[in-house]
Structure 1
């Protein structure tokens, strides 16, 4: 049975159930469960383990890779100012990718079993369980495939010596994104900038899901007209 007649049994692993919701999945996924519990996704302990990550694993795993890449460009003859500039540019490119992933991939409409399951594991789970701190950062095992693909694509787009620094800057941007996202859910910012992006992100979760796709910055929301209105942000606090 699927669609509106199907009910997810929360007492059992849920990842392979949600696909049966059919065209009712989107409505289900965006009705948050506001508890700090952490539901089980898979029967397999191995698969379950790979859905959970502590926040500090992200910088511990990715920052050494980022700095190694940046050092490669320096060792290939680029000056320190050039390497810093390329790294900053790579970080800016990531901020655009962050916006595009969140808007067009993470919030795609799905109805089929496979698409619903994929969407849930990728992002729907976060909207359904927004206080599940064990799943607020992305496991390195899940990101590694995309990271390898991007490294290959950077080789097509950039020269051999500029690719590492641009890529390393993007990796740093990704780390900033994931840690910022975790903090927005679990921290109590006093800085005005962080307060503003927290309000926008909470509005995205609890008020209007088709606004406020930027996590670390509202830059691309301003450019593409998806910035939450002050009224929506206030109600979404």
Structure 2
């Protein structure tokens, strides 16, 4: 007797359902539902509230933190050009971290109950409901947790006096990433560069989900060979 596949009930909280999909989870989560109304995650109202974040919360909370860290390096005597260079370096480091997290953590393949559940919370929900505006940016608590290893990494590759500005630049890069990500899903760009960025990212969601991991830049996709081929190029093969 063949076991019947588990079916997710979209009218009920999803988080503790998706794990039951086991090996079918990867196929299910990459079949997007295009609706601005997101699903309910948890039965508990407090847990549900913690999963919802307006885009403007990201700059509101983290830009003052960026300023505080950068000011620490200013107090240590660094000039404006030196601070600028450190911040640009931090942003550059963030772009690599952005790519690495998206490719190797957010797109890790899972098939166990808890593996699927954690993946859905981390990134799977975004691929299943890509237009859910309240779950497009990272909740502040999750960001704070991720900042701990990033701070330690910044300390490892810099000095005590340059670390704050480098870290501040990296944090600024994160803010730019999150608000850009939101805009690429919900904005209506009219100029060429943001229009191309939007097309590039939505291509990752709706056409080739195992390519195009960069959000703010396609640089690392080019470096590591994950740049998706254009439709025209595919037709000519």
Q: Same fold (TM over 0.5)?
A: yes
Match of 2:228 in 1: 228
Aligned residue runs from structure 1 range 74-223, under 5 A: 74-223=74-223
Instruction: Return the TM-score normalized by structure 2.
Output: 0.94
Secondary structure of 1:59 counterpart: helix
After superposition, give the CA deviation of every residue in 1:193-215 in whole Å (9 maximum; x if it has no partner): 11111111111000010111000
Unmatched 5+ stretches in structure 2:
none
CA shift in 2, pair 1:156/1:47, >3 Å: same
RMSD between aligned residues: 1.7
Instruction: Return the TM-score normalized by structure 1.
Output: 0.94
Cα offset, 1:138, TM superposition: 0.8
Cα offset, 1:151, TM superposition: 1.7
Q: For the residues of structure 2 that align with 1:234 and 1:76, how far apart are their CA atoms?
A: 54
Match of 1:68 in 2: 68
Match of 1:9 in 2: 9
Unmatched 5+ stretches in structure 1:
none
Cα offset, 1:226, TM superposition: 1.2
Q: For the residues of structure 2 that align with 1:64 and 1:4, how far apart are their CA atoms?
A: 53
Secondary structure of 1:190 counterpart: coil
Size of the aligned set, in residue pairs, is 233
* 8 Å contact from structure 1 (residues 19, 115) kept in 2: yes
CA shift in 2, pair 1:155/1:4, >3 Å: farther
Cα offset, 1:77, TM superposition: 1.7
